Every structure is written in C-alpha cells, then in structure tokens.
C-alpha cells in the first residue's frame, strides 16, 4: 500500500484562534484529576497531569477516552503533525495498543524511540467505550520540540479514524489518514499536581 499523501494535513492547525480550552476533571474510575478536554462532536476526552513543579521532570500521565466506533485516536503534543511527538492508540480485543510516532512529512508517521509508555490499571475496553490511561516517561522533549509547563494555552492537536488499522495487534501497524481532526488549548501550568506520584 502506498502511503504518499496519506495523513496529508493530519493534525495540521491553522493560525486561527481556537475556542476550546482544557478544564479540570476527575476520572471516577481511577480518582485522577486531569486537565483536559472533551470534544463535543466526537465525544473523545483527552486528559493530562504532570508532577508539581516539574520543570526538570520528563513525564506525565495521560488518558484518552473514546467511543468504540473510533478505531484509532492520536494526539500531537506539539500541536501539529510534523516534527512533534505523536501518541496513537487503538482498541484490540480487551486491551489497548499504543505507539509513539513521529513524522517529518505528510506520510505515515514512523515509530519514535525514546518514550517509555506504560498502560495504567484503569485502561479498559467495553461495548461502548475504550479508555487508555498511561504514564509517558521521557515524553516532554523530542526532536524539534518540547512541552512548556509554564504555558496556560498550548495548542494540542488530535486526530482519529473510524477505519481500523491494518494489524491491530501490532504497535507498528500501518493506518490510513484520519477521518476527523481538531485542536484545543491545554493549560499545562494547571495540569501540575502534588498528587502525581500517588497516581503513578
């Protein structure tokens, strides 16, 4: 399968002002208080929490909660597809497969070495939703970018697809262009928590 032009425009964000902003919420399944955002149209939630005063730390806990109709969901930590750490996940049987990716052109993002991602116990799949709760270590800096933990309005981009990946058992699976995408503002400063290591 040729991947030329696949994912073209994936996670690309225009310079227009984004209306959506993150808010604080607590996941009742795990008790973690995230700073995150739920897209009203796709009903997908993206959440983040960082160690308090974590300018020197390199990790965070994140979660993605998605209807099962979405066959994969991805987040671009730098706000666009190119030259940023991409985290992609999808349901497979009763678990979630996840993969860090990176792209320097609008083609299929390749595996990115460096991050250590660990699924946390509240990761789950049921008949209506799948939830990926994860600890992402060595994930705040990458080639070409980083997370600014002093920022109150950093752009995060997301993409998803209702089309399944080629091999859902394989984290290195190929997948086609997203069927939906968008962005929101993440308040990284408010996402820092003194309870982080209790969550982790």
In tens, the pLDDT along 2-12 reads: 333 334 444 34
Q: Please, which pLDDT band fits residue 56 given cuts at 50, 70 and 90?
A: confident
Residues 6+ apart with CB under 8 A from 117: 87, 98, 100, 134, 135, 136, 137, 139
pTM of the model: 0.90
Average pLDDT over residues 171-186: 97
* Residue-wise pLDDT tens digits, 119-169: 999 999 999 999 999 999 999 999 999 999 999 999 999 999 999 999 999
137 class by beta-carbon count within 10 Å (0-12 exposed, 13-18 middle, 19+ buried): middle
4 class by beta-carbon count within 10 Å (0-12 exposed, 13-18 middle, 19+ buried): exposed
d(CA 8, CA 176): 10
179 class by beta-carbon count within 10 Å (0-12 exposed, 13-18 middle, 19+ buried): middle
């Amino acid at each position: 399968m040729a991947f030329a032009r696949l994912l073209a425009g994936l996670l690309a964000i225009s310079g227009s002002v984004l209306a959506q902003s993150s808010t604080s919420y607590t996941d009742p399944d795990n008790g973690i208080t995230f700073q995150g955002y739920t897209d009203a149209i796709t009903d997908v939630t993206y959440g983040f929490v960082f160690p308090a005063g974590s300018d020197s730390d390199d990790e965070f806990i994140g979660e993605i909660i998605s209807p099962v109709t979405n066959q994969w969901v991805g987040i671009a930590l730098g706000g666009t597809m190119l030259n940023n750490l991409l985290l992609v996940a999808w349901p497979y049987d009763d678990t979630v497969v996840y993969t860090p990716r990176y792209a320097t052109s609008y083609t299929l993002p390749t595996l990115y070495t460096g991050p250590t991602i660990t699924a946390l116990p509240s990761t789950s799949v049921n008949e209506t939703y799948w939830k990926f709760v994860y600890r992402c270590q060595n994930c705040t800096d990458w080639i070409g970018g980083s997370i600014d933990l002093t920022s109150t309005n950093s752009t995060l981009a997301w993409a998803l697809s209702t089309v399944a990946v080629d091999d859902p058992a394989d984290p290195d699976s190929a997948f086609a262009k997203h069927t939906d995408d968008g962005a929101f503002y993440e308040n990284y400063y408010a996402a820092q928590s003194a309870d982080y290591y209790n969550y982790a």
